[in-house]
Amino acid sequence: MLWRFGLQHASNIDKLLEKEDLTLEEVLNEPDLQQEIREQNPKVVSYLVQPQNLRQMVDYIATEAFFKSTKLAAAACDVLCSNSAAFAEALAAAYVAGDFEDSDESGTESDGGGQAEPEPEAEPRQHLLEQLWGVMGVEAGRLDAQQATQFSRVMCSVLQRKPYEALDFIRAQDAAVAQFLAHLGVSAVVDLLLKVISLEELEGGPGVVAWLGSQRLIPRLVARLAPDQEPETHSLAAQVLLDIIAISQCNNPAQPTIGTNALIAELKSAATVARLADYMLARDAPHATSTLINCVYIFIELIRRNYSDADGAATPEPGDGASSGSDGARRDSRLAGVDL
């Protein structure tokens, strides 16, 4: 890293940053931008973390601007998810309206002779994450998959670097769990939900599982397995439940796990098991077969995981189909070799 020793030579982007009336769009279209960020070019990072530029990059991802230029949205996403911690820290910070004004337009000089001006009332603080989270407010079934992917990438990056601040923000959103459930058909949103759950293992106990329990995540997912729901709804809900089981009761040391928790306890509770059994036995319901199949998948996974725990979590022999593949694999690999 040559910046630290003053041995760097001027790059194209350094010359670009000296241009008058420079626009963020010009910088985002610069071919060497990502390379300069990876090398921690201080001029580039300093320019991009300015609040007005951060807000514009979030706009490219989270607003109608996304559909006007997916190229700019992709470039903005790459910047915000880059290896520089400055972007996650800036996204997690709180701002006032004046922070988004150009520096040469803010502030006034005092004449020094008059009485002191009364202190203005404190301005409300705002977070760029609120603007970014607007993606989750899109009506169910209308969320663009590419936009959701970029939103999820940025949120996961902030969760990775500033987990406590990001989790506090998500928990402060009144409809967060309802919005997650509304977009179960969008894999990027489900990945974000699983990322949130996985942070339960952080030191200091962020209380993610307790919060999701208070929001009735498991009962709301189980309700989507009712035989009067559509088969696609069954499949999506079952897959999320299987994923929660996987990250909670993983027997592979190479895979992250948060251990048995309140969500799994609720899923294994007598009340939930009885509810699932009632769904499975409702033969005259319009989609009884789909409910039966998806509930069986869940029971098999619960039994397999708990049997392994009870048996000392013995490591299976290579070639054992029941344990082949990673714990993050989808349903087919999870159920491979299970003797029904």
CA distances from 204 to 64, 150, 159, 201, 234 (A): 39, 29, 15, 9, 35
For residues 134 and 173, the answer to whether their CB atoms sit within 8 Å is: no
Q: What is the residue whose two structure tokens read 């397995």?
A: 225
Considering the entire predicted model, what is its pTM? 0.81
Give pLDDT, residue 283. 86
Give pLDDT, residue 82. 94
Give pLDDT, residue 50. 94
From 94-98, 126-130, 294-298, 310-314, the region with the lowest mean pLDDT: 310-314
- pLDDT tens-digit map of 135-194: 999 999 999 999 999 999 999 999 999 999 999 999 999 899 999 999 999 999 999 999
User: Does the CA dihedral 267-268-269-275 come out positive or negative?
Assistant: positive
Torsion of CA 64, 66, 72, 73, to 10 degrees: 130
Compute the average pLDDT of residues 207-231.
96
- CA 206 – CA 228 distance, rounded (Å): 37
Report angle CA 315, 203, 154 to the nearest 5 degrees.
90
Question: In the predicted model, is pLDDT for residue 103 greater than 60?
Answer: no
In terms of DSSP H, where are the helices of 311-337?
A: 331-335
Strand partners, 94: 127
- DSSP code at position 115: P
Question: Chain-centre distance of CA 25, in angstroms?
Answer: 26
